[in-house]
Amino acid sequence: MSQLYQRLLENNKTWVAKRIASDPDYFLRLSESQSPKFLWIGCSDSRVPANEITGTEAGDVFVHRNIANMVVHSDMNLLSVLDYAVNVLKVRHVIVCGHYGCGGVKAAMGNSNIGIIDNWIRHIKDVYRFHYRELDAIEDEKVKFDRFVELNVVEQVMDLAKTSIVQGAWNKEQDLWIHGWVYDIRNGLVKDLEVNFGSNEELPDVYKLEII
Ligand code: CO
Protein backbone atom coordinates (compact mmCIF):
# COMPACT_ATOMS: atom_id res chain seq x y z
CA MET A 1 0.00 0.00 0.00
CA SER A 2 1.23 3.41 -0.88
CA GLN A 3 2.41 6.06 1.54
CA LEU A 4 0.03 8.44 -0.17
CA TYR A 5 -2.88 6.33 0.97
CA GLN A 6 -1.54 5.67 4.47
CA ARG A 7 -1.08 9.40 4.87
CA LEU A 8 -4.87 9.90 4.91
CA LEU A 9 -5.29 7.62 7.90
CA GLU A 10 -2.45 9.37 9.70
CA ASN A 11 -4.04 12.73 8.91
CA ASN A 12 -7.29 11.50 10.39
CA LYS A 13 -5.66 10.68 13.73
CA THR A 14 -3.95 14.06 13.83
CA TRP A 15 -7.22 15.83 13.03
CA VAL A 16 -9.11 14.01 15.79
CA ALA A 17 -6.42 14.86 18.32
CA LYS A 18 -6.47 18.55 17.33
CA ARG A 19 -10.25 18.73 17.48
CA ILE A 20 -10.44 17.18 20.91
CA ALA A 21 -7.65 19.42 22.17
CA SER A 22 -9.56 22.56 21.24
CA ASP A 23 -13.08 21.26 21.94
CA PRO A 24 -13.34 18.11 24.08
CA ASP A 25 -17.09 17.66 23.35
CA TYR A 26 -16.79 18.18 19.59
CA PHE A 27 -17.54 14.60 18.52
CA LEU A 28 -20.00 13.95 21.32
CA ARG A 29 -22.05 16.96 20.24
CA LEU A 30 -21.94 16.08 16.54
CA SER A 31 -22.82 12.45 17.18
CA GLU A 32 -26.13 13.38 18.80
CA SER A 33 -27.84 14.96 15.79
CA GLN A 34 -27.44 17.16 12.73
CA SER A 35 -29.45 20.25 11.89
CA PRO A 36 -27.78 21.82 8.87
CA LYS A 37 -29.41 24.97 7.51
CA PHE A 38 -27.99 24.51 4.02
CA LEU A 39 -28.12 21.98 1.23
CA TRP A 40 -25.21 22.26 -1.18
CA ILE A 41 -25.54 20.91 -4.70
CA GLY A 42 -22.07 21.15 -6.17
CA CYS A 43 -19.72 19.63 -8.70
CA SER A 44 -17.69 16.50 -7.87
CA ASP A 45 -14.56 18.43 -8.87
CA SER A 46 -11.93 17.97 -6.14
CA ARG A 47 -11.16 21.68 -6.12
CA VAL A 48 -14.58 22.78 -4.87
CA PRO A 49 -14.98 21.58 -1.26
CA ALA A 50 -18.24 22.99 0.14
CA ASN A 51 -17.17 23.46 3.77
CA GLU A 52 -13.75 24.92 3.08
CA ILE A 53 -14.82 27.59 0.64
CA THR A 54 -17.76 28.74 2.77
CA GLY A 55 -15.97 28.67 6.13
CA THR A 56 -18.46 26.17 7.52
CA GLU A 57 -17.94 23.17 9.75
CA ALA A 58 -19.08 19.57 9.93
CA GLY A 59 -22.81 19.65 10.73
CA ASP A 60 -23.47 22.92 8.88
CA VAL A 61 -24.02 21.79 5.28
CA PHE A 62 -25.84 18.79 3.82
CA VAL A 63 -24.01 17.98 0.59
CA HIS A 64 -24.81 16.44 -2.78
CA ARG A 65 -22.22 16.49 -5.53
CA ASN A 66 -22.23 15.19 -9.06
CA ILE A 67 -20.58 16.04 -12.36
CA ALA A 68 -21.42 19.67 -13.20
CA ASN A 69 -23.82 20.17 -10.23
CA MET A 70 -26.86 18.97 -12.12
CA VAL A 71 -30.48 18.76 -10.95
CA VAL A 72 -31.80 15.93 -13.08
CA HIS A 73 -35.44 15.08 -12.37
CA SER A 74 -35.02 11.34 -12.86
CA ASP A 75 -31.95 11.17 -10.60
CA MET A 76 -33.12 9.24 -7.52
CA ASN A 77 -29.95 10.12 -5.68
CA LEU A 78 -30.53 13.87 -6.06
CA LEU A 79 -34.25 13.56 -5.35
CA SER A 80 -33.64 11.54 -2.19
CA VAL A 81 -31.08 14.02 -0.89
CA LEU A 82 -33.36 16.95 -1.72
CA ASP A 83 -36.40 15.32 -0.12
CA TYR A 84 -34.52 14.49 3.07
CA ALA A 85 -32.92 17.93 3.27
CA VAL A 86 -36.15 19.84 2.66
CA ASN A 87 -38.74 17.68 4.40
CA VAL A 88 -36.81 16.10 7.26
CA LEU A 89 -33.85 18.35 8.01
CA LYS A 90 -35.82 21.43 6.95
CA VAL A 91 -32.84 23.29 5.52
CA ARG A 92 -33.55 26.97 4.82
CA HIS A 93 -31.31 27.41 1.80
CA VAL A 94 -30.45 25.21 -1.15
CA ILE A 95 -27.38 26.41 -3.01
CA VAL A 96 -26.45 25.19 -6.47
CA CYS A 97 -22.75 25.96 -6.81
CA GLY A 98 -21.07 25.57 -10.18
CA HIS A 99 -17.49 26.54 -10.92
CA TYR A 100 -15.53 28.12 -13.73
CA GLY A 101 -13.32 25.62 -15.51
CA CYS A 102 -15.88 22.82 -15.00
CA GLY A 103 -14.84 19.77 -17.05
CA GLY A 104 -18.44 18.62 -17.40
CA VAL A 105 -19.54 21.94 -18.88
CA LYS A 106 -16.45 22.01 -21.12
CA ALA A 107 -17.31 18.54 -22.41
CA ALA A 108 -20.85 19.73 -23.17
CA MET A 109 -19.40 22.44 -25.43
CA GLY A 110 -17.62 19.85 -27.55
CA ASN A 111 -18.58 16.82 -29.57
CA SER A 112 -16.39 14.09 -28.15
CA ASN A 113 -17.92 10.68 -27.53
CA ILE A 114 -16.51 9.90 -24.10
CA GLY A 115 -18.67 6.98 -22.96
CA ILE A 116 -21.59 6.51 -20.61
CA ILE A 117 -20.98 10.01 -19.27
CA ASP A 118 -22.24 11.38 -22.62
CA ASN A 119 -25.76 10.69 -21.36
CA TRP A 120 -25.17 12.84 -18.29
CA ILE A 121 -23.43 15.57 -20.30
CA ARG A 122 -26.44 15.68 -22.62
CA HIS A 123 -28.44 17.43 -19.89
CA ILE A 124 -25.84 20.22 -19.98
CA LYS A 125 -26.08 20.38 -23.77
CA ASP A 126 -29.81 21.07 -23.30
CA VAL A 127 -28.82 24.18 -21.35
CA TYR A 128 -26.72 25.28 -24.34
CA ARG A 129 -29.71 24.74 -26.61
CA PHE A 130 -31.94 26.92 -24.38
CA HIS A 131 -29.36 29.72 -24.52
CA TYR A 132 -27.68 29.15 -27.89
CA ARG A 133 -28.43 32.66 -29.18
CA GLU A 134 -26.53 34.26 -26.33
CA LEU A 135 -23.74 31.67 -26.28
CA ASP A 136 -23.19 31.45 -30.05
CA ALA A 137 -22.83 35.23 -30.14
CA ILE A 138 -19.81 35.13 -27.79
CA GLU A 139 -16.65 34.82 -29.91
CA ASP A 140 -14.08 34.46 -27.15
CA GLU A 141 -14.12 30.76 -26.19
CA LYS A 142 -13.09 31.46 -22.58
CA VAL A 143 -15.82 34.06 -22.11
CA LYS A 144 -18.33 31.67 -23.68
CA PHE A 145 -17.20 28.85 -21.37
CA ASP A 146 -17.56 31.06 -18.27
CA ARG A 147 -21.02 32.20 -19.35
CA PHE A 148 -22.11 28.62 -20.09
CA VAL A 149 -21.06 27.65 -16.55
CA GLU A 150 -23.23 30.48 -15.18
CA LEU A 151 -26.23 29.66 -17.35
CA ASN A 152 -25.97 26.01 -16.36
CA VAL A 153 -26.26 27.01 -12.69
CA VAL A 154 -29.25 29.25 -13.43
CA GLU A 155 -31.01 26.38 -15.20
CA GLN A 156 -30.29 23.99 -12.33
CA VAL A 157 -31.83 26.49 -9.90
CA MET A 158 -34.88 26.63 -12.15
CA ASP A 159 -34.93 22.82 -12.25
CA LEU A 160 -34.90 22.78 -8.44
CA ALA A 161 -37.89 25.14 -8.41
CA LYS A 162 -39.73 22.80 -10.78
CA THR A 163 -39.46 19.79 -8.45
CA SER A 164 -42.54 18.69 -6.52
CA ILE A 165 -40.33 18.64 -3.41
CA VAL A 166 -39.46 22.34 -3.51
CA GLN A 167 -42.92 23.43 -4.70
CA GLY A 168 -44.50 21.29 -1.98
CA ALA A 169 -42.44 23.08 0.68
CA TRP A 170 -43.35 26.48 -0.72
CA ASN A 171 -46.99 25.46 -0.81
CA LYS A 172 -46.78 24.76 2.93
CA GLU A 173 -45.16 28.19 3.35
CA GLN A 174 -41.95 26.60 4.53
CA ASP A 175 -39.13 29.13 4.67
CA LEU A 176 -37.02 27.73 1.83
CA TRP A 177 -34.78 29.68 -0.53
CA ILE A 178 -32.86 28.42 -3.53
CA HIS A 179 -29.78 30.16 -4.87
CA GLY A 180 -27.22 29.95 -7.68
CA TRP A 181 -23.50 30.52 -7.22
CA VAL A 182 -20.36 30.08 -9.28
CA TYR A 183 -17.04 29.41 -7.57
CA ASP A 184 -13.96 30.80 -9.28
CA ILE A 185 -11.16 28.25 -9.01
CA ARG A 186 -8.75 30.97 -10.20
CA ASN A 187 -9.14 33.18 -7.11
CA GLY A 188 -11.32 31.27 -4.65
CA LEU A 189 -14.18 33.75 -4.75
CA VAL A 190 -17.86 32.87 -5.08
CA LYS A 191 -19.99 34.87 -7.49
CA ASP A 192 -23.61 35.08 -6.39
CA LEU A 193 -25.67 34.92 -9.59
CA GLU A 194 -28.56 36.46 -7.68
CA VAL A 195 -31.12 33.95 -8.80
CA ASN A 196 -32.87 33.63 -5.46
CA PHE A 197 -36.29 32.06 -5.28
CA GLY A 198 -38.53 31.65 -2.25
CA SER A 199 -41.73 30.80 -4.12
CA ASN A 200 -42.84 29.37 -7.45
CA GLU A 201 -43.95 32.81 -8.73
CA GLU A 202 -41.04 33.07 -11.18
CA LEU A 203 -41.82 29.72 -12.79
CA PRO A 204 -43.57 29.61 -16.13
CA ASP A 205 -47.17 28.49 -15.53
CA VAL A 206 -46.67 25.13 -17.20
CA TYR A 207 -44.32 24.06 -14.38
CA LYS A 208 -46.51 25.19 -11.49
CA LEU A 209 -47.94 22.29 -9.54
CA GLU A 210 -51.24 22.46 -7.70
CA ILE A 211 -50.01 20.56 -4.71
CA ILE A 212 -52.71 19.62 -2.22
CO1 CO B 1 -17.10 20.70 -12.47
Rounded to two decimals, what is the model's pTM?
Answer: 0.95
Average per-residue pLDDT in the chain?
96
* Interval 171-192 mean pLDDT: 97
Write down the pLDDT at residue 211.
Answer: 78
Predicted confidence (pLDDT) at residue 1 exceeds the cutoff of 90:
no
Dihedral pair phi/psi, residue 156, rounded to 5°: -70, -35
Q: How far apart are CA 28 and CA 111, in angstroms?
A: 51
* pLDDT tens digits, 44-102: 999 999 999 999 999 999 999 999 999 999 999 999 999 999 999 999 999 999 999 99
The pLDDT score that the predictor gives to residue 128 is: 98
Residue 81 Cα to ligand 1 middle (Å) = 19
Gap from CA of 60 to ligand 1 centroid (Å):
22
Domains parsed from the chain with CATH numbers:
1-32 (no CATH), 34-207 (3.40.1050.10)
Q: How far apart are CA 117 and CA 91, in angstroms?
A: 31
Residue 2 — pLDDT band, cuts 50, 70, 90?
A: confident
**Residue 133: exposure state from Cβ atoms within 10 A (0-12, 13-18, ≥19):** exposed
Task: To the nearest 10°, report the CA torsion of 39, 41, 45, 48.
Answer: -50
Mean pLDDT of 12-34: 96
Q: Output the CA 46–ligand 1 centroid distance in Å.
A: 9
The set of catalytic residues is: 43, 45, 47, 99, 102
Q: What integer pLDDT is reported at residue 44 of this predicted model?
A: 98
* Dihedral sign of CA atoms 118, 122, 69, 45 in order: positive
CA of 147 to the centre of ligand 1 (A): 14
